[in-house]
């Protein structure tokens, strides 16, 4: 049996370890090597990379993708898409979702992994169908979580429904690294029973130390593809190491297509990069350690590091344990949403309010209010009526799909950005992150003007 690998170093690994701060120039020279490693796919775009490019790295995310594609023509490029949320934190109208998918595929994406934080399938439908229409592979992801309302039977039914919707592969996305080897075995078995012909991907994080065992049992149960990170950027809140899993699985008789020599080169490239992020403090050694607390708190890697930096900024790190205890309580009150973006931030911020203000729901976060209204989709379980009342304050919840209430936005914005946006992709960047994109456009313009001056001077010389 064959096991295939998706390399996450360019997206999830760097997102989980160094808050997505890896600039293109630091990995450009290794792309041609990565392309030869034998990966099933390279996860390199989407998630927080888009926002981070514009906000912190002064890079055009679309340009980054085009440049990666040029250097990696032989391996499928993969992105993570938050369904109707695209790469942002709120729902966008369908015309924007379709345009975004169209442009992503045009710029080089081969596989779009689509998930909805609440597993509300009406939120992944439009992007999934558009992905297929544009000729890319649509991979539908189940946001894995455990709660009284999330059962193996329900997840297997969900997978079947996703396949019916047209998903070419299914992914079990364990963003918190809480899926145990037994749970993985049972869940993969159940999904494989339900849809034996659909390739199944398993995605987890090393946060709790379960990941290697979880992947092993998932593979034993029939998982086809696993997500791993090159060893120097693996472990802790990132994925388990690519090389280690290739080594172990091969010995167990599985066919693994990876080229070990190439992997060494890739790893040698990222080792000094990891060390420099450690040295400048971007990489906190804490996030590389095993933390079994997450088994109780069910907190994904990114969320944990966010909470730590939030509390550090407010000089309230002594409240970390209290916030970590409050988090699952808030989650229960909200009907057990899986703790993935944007629910993880929503629940984290609310738990922080509840602890720091000394009274639960004294302040209800804007996002929690929108969630209770139904702006994120249907909650997996029942929202606590008292919290619901505090959040809505007399307002009525939305019936049906929130995106249906939104006006088309793309053409209108395109007109507004005449003279500022260079192409449709700029318009999409702006719709996704208006202020951030505006600043980026200004800086880009400045840079271009400087470059022109420089060239003229050069000619004079």
Which chain residues interact with Co ion by CB under 5 A? 12, 175
If the CB atoms of residues 238 and 429 are measured against Co ion, the closer one turns out to be 238
If the CB atoms of residues 237 and 429 are measured against Co ion, the closer one turns out to be 237
Find the shortest distance in angstroms from Cβ 408 to Co ion. 32
If the CB atoms of residues 180 and 413 are measured against Co ion, the closer one turns out to be 180
Find the shortest distance in angstroms from Cβ 88 to Co ion. 17
If the CB atoms of residues 12 and 183 are measured against Co ion, the closer one turns out to be 12
Find the shortest distance in angstroms from Cβ 175 to Co ion. 5
Find the shortest distance in angstroms from Cβ 203 to Co ion. 6
For residue 370, what are the contacts with CB-CB under 8 A and spacing of at least 6? 90, 376
Find the shortest distance in angstroms from Cβ 146 to Co ion. 16
Find the shortest distance in angstroms from Cβ 413 to Co ion. 30
Write out the two tokens for 276. 């420099």
If the CB atoms of residues 175 and 307 are measured against Co ion, the closer one turns out to be 175
If the CB atoms of residues 7 and 12 are measured against Co ion, the closer one turns out to be 12
Find the shortest distance in angstroms from Cβ 322 to Co ion. 26
What sign results for the dihedral spanned by CA atoms 176, 127, 188, 334?
Answer: positive
If the CB atoms of residues 303 and 421 are measured against Co ion, the closer one turns out to be 303
């Amino acid at each position: 049996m064959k096991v295939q690998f998706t390399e996450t170093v360019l997206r999830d690994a760097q997102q989980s370890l160094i808050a997505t701060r890896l600039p293109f120039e630091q990995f450009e020279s290794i792309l041609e090597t990565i392309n030869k490693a034998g990966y099933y796919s390279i996860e390199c775009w989407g998630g927080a990379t888009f926002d981070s490019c514009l906000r912190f790295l002064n890079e055009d995310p679309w340009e980054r993708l085009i440049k990666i594609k040029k250097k990696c023509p032989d391996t499928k490029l993969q992105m993570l898409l938050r369904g109707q949320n695209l790469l942002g934190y709120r729902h966008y109208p369908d015309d924007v979702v379709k345009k975004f998918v169209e442009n992503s595929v045009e710029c080089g994406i081969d596989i779009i992994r689509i998930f909805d934080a609440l597993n509300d399938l009406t939120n992944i439908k439009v992007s999934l169908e558009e992905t297929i229409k544009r000729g890319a592979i649509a991979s539908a992801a189940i946001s894995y979580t455990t709660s009284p309302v999330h059962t193996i039977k329900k997840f297997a039914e969900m997978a079947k429904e996703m396949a019916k919707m047209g998903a070419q592969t299914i992914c079990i996305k364990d963003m918190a690294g809480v899926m145990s080897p037994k749970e993985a075995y049972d869940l993969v078995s159940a999904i494989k029973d339900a849809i034996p012909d659909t390739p199944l991907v398993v995605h987890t994080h090393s946060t709790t130390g379960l990941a290697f065992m979880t992947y092993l049992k998932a593979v034993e149960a029939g998982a086809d593809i696993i997500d791993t990170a090159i060893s120097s950027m693996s472990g802790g809140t990132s994925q388990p190491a690519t090389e280690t899993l290739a080594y172990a699985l091969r010995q167990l008789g599985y066919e693994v297509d990876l080229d070990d020599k190439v992997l060494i080169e890739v790893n040698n490239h990222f080792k000094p990069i990891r060390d420099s992020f450690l040295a400048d403090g971007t990489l906190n050694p804490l996030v590389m350690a095993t933390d079994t607390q997450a088994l109780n708190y069910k907190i994904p890697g990114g969320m944990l590091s966010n909470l730590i930096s939030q509390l550090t900024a407010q000089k309230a790190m002594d409240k970390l344990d209290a916030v970590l205890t409050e988090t699952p309580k808030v989650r229960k009150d909200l009907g057990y949403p899986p703790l993935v973006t944007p629910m993880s931030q929503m629940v984290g911020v609310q738990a922080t309010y509840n602890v720091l203000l000394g009274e639960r729901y004294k302040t209800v976060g804007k996002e929690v209010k929108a969630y209770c209204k139904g702006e994120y989709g249907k909650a997996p379980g029942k929202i606590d009526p008292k919290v619901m009342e505090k959040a809505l304050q007399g307002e009525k919840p939305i019936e049906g799909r929130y995106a249906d209430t939104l006006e088309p936005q793309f053409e209108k914005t395109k007109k507004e950005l005449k003279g500022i946006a260079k192409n449709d992709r700029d318009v999409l960047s702006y719709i996704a992150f208006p202020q951030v994109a505006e600043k980026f456009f200004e800086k880009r313009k400045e840079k271009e003007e400087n470059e022109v001056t420089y060239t003229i001077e050069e000619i004079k010389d």
